[in-house]
Amino acid sequence: MLISILIVLIVILVSMTLHELMHGFVAYKLGDDTAKDLGRLTLNPLKHLDPWMSVVFPLLMLLTGGPIFGAAKPVPINTRMLRYNEWGFALVALAGPLTNFVLAFIGYIFWYLSANVVGAPDLVLLFWNYWVVVNLGFFAFNLLPIPPLDGSRLLYAIAPDAVRRLMEKMESFGLIFIIILIFLAGALLSTVIGHVVGWSLWLFQSIIG
């Protein structure tokens, strides 16, 4: 179990750093330099990780046998500086989860090659297994349409004004709202995330073998 915890910590550090970096990078490309000015366009994980949602909670899920998911410290975005208005914001939001999805797919390729071509040691297979599962968990969790998660930005782009105002009020509570939701509806969230992870693995298997 200690080895599993160390591997998951390494995967979290890399995956969530790239997740948040891509949020800031896409925002910068769309005209908002807020993240750049605040030093968030960096590979330093300490700038991006939230101690509870990025580390403690995923490890608790690992120890209890649930799907591993979590979130990082949100990158500050000035929507008034973004091109394409709400759709620009949606593109910024989508960049993070899609990064995790791509990382998971790359990890699946390495796992497949390690298992079926190279004949790598069990520790290598375990690493790539966690790499895939953790990234898919972050992908699925962050796409939930709940403020302040990334999926809410996509919903915001198409929602009527009344729904947008409600989402803005929910977002004012930040990750506290998400933590409360996890404790109140953790089983449901785990089921939804587990299905998304399963479908993604099926897709990877269909593509790679």
Q: Catalytic residues, which ones?
A: 20
Q: Give the integer Cα–Cα distance in Å for 97 and 86.
A: 18
Answer yes or no: are the C-beta atoms of 77 and 34 closer than 8 Å: yes
CA 123/CA 4 separation, integer angstroms = 10
- How large is the C-alpha radius of gyration of the chain? 17
Distance of CA 45 to the CA centre of its chain: 14
Render 45-112 in DSSP notation, one character per residue. Answer: GGGT--IIIIIIHHHHHHHHTSPP----PPPP--GGGSTTHHHHHHHHHHHHHHHHHHHHHHHHHHHH
Contact 197, 136 (CB under 8 A): yes
Residue written as tokens 């990078």? 25
Indicate the helix (H) or strand (E) that contains 20.
helix 2-29
C-alpha to C-alpha distance for 70 and 81, rounded to whole angstroms? 28
